[in-house]
Amino acid sequence: MTTGRSLLGHRDFRHLWAAETVSQVGTQVTLLALPVVAVTVLAATPLQMGFLTALETAAFLVIGLPAGAWVDRWRRKRVLVTADLVRAVTLATLPMAYLLDALTLGQLFVVAAVTGTATVFFDVAYQSYLPTLVDRDQLVDGNGKLEASRAVAQVAGPGATGVLLRVLGAPLLIALDAVSFLLSALFLGSIQRPDTVPDRAARRPLRTEIAEGLGFVVHHPLLRRIVACTGTANLFSTITGTLLVLFALRELDLSESTLGLVLSAGAVGGLLGAATAARFARWVGEGRAIPLSVLVALPFTALTPLAALGAPVVLLTLSQFGFSWAIVVYNVTQVSFRQRLCPAALLGRMNASVRFLVFGTMPLGALLGGVLGTWLGVVPALWISVAGQALAACWVTFSPLLHLRDLPESEPVGATGGG
């Protein structure tokens, strides 16, 4: 393991970074192409869009907790490679069906569910794998570089997708994502660091191991508040995510290429956030960076429904830019805190517990967005999303985090504390 401050000379980290970058670029293509297929090719309704979005994240709610215990029992690199291969094969069925004129909403739903399940295992293993490759004092740097890749993909992906949508069509573009997952699997498979697995004789009942990971999260006073904030914010922000393509294409009458360029321009904020997260945390204090970044995000969320009143391209771009910056800063800071705080043997279960709690709200938010968009209309549903995200900020704003400059390091499993 490299002991220097820079990770650029760390071979295994470079391969992990390359895998993440390639995968993220392809994923950004699908994030726009899949709902565009549903809206423009298959004429999906708001309720059907809610169902599609819910299936993409339902696995976090259904198998999120046992996935963490399983990942802690398995070789994490093998989990990552397998998840990539499953996603590649599953996504490849969409362009094949389109070419055979057999594409249906039902197939989109199945693909969303299968790839979502693979993503659960990938994400749990991925965040648990990084601390085994780099030193603890390199985690912020490592997470910052990985978030930078995500942000670059968010900048390049939607804009390129918007242009290519008119040339190739959305179904064929999804084939690019399948290829990206294959390349990601190749990079991950070339990591040389031995991937050890705990002694089978030391295993305890699955229920006991799940409870240990969940208990670590809910009993820690700071971690509990961060998870509550993220889970609440995800519940309501998923309403916006579910309806955004419908809102832009039908309510604002934007073209697919314009929407792609708006999302790309807005994602520059995420790239800036990845580059400045560590500096921002040093400036205001790592503890305070968490609530302050959430508060910064709030006014930008309101710009999305305000776009219905005029200047939609400008307001949507500003909304995406400011929100992306704040959320990337928030994620880099709180994920690095979690990784430093948690004992290595508990990382998989801790990350799975967090994802169960924060991503488990997303399928509920997607269904809620579909229902509200059908019942009240798209714009009122977007305003409900804004109000809900304001409530989410209360979890960390009215907490000790606002008064903490430095966050604590590792604590014993089962540590408890007050609210």
Domains located in the chain, CATH noted = 11-190+207-403 (1.20.1250.20)
pLDDT at 163: 65
pLDDT at 93: 93
pLDDT at 419: 32
pLDDT at 85: 95
pLDDT at 414: 39
CA distance 34 to 100: 18
pLDDT at 89: 95
CB 365 within 8 A of CB 235: yes
pTM, full prediction: 0.72
Per-residue pLDDT tens for 106-123?
999 999 899 888 888 887
pLDDT at 155: 59
- Which of the residues in the chain have pLDDT under 50? 1-4, 412-419
pLDDT at 412: 44
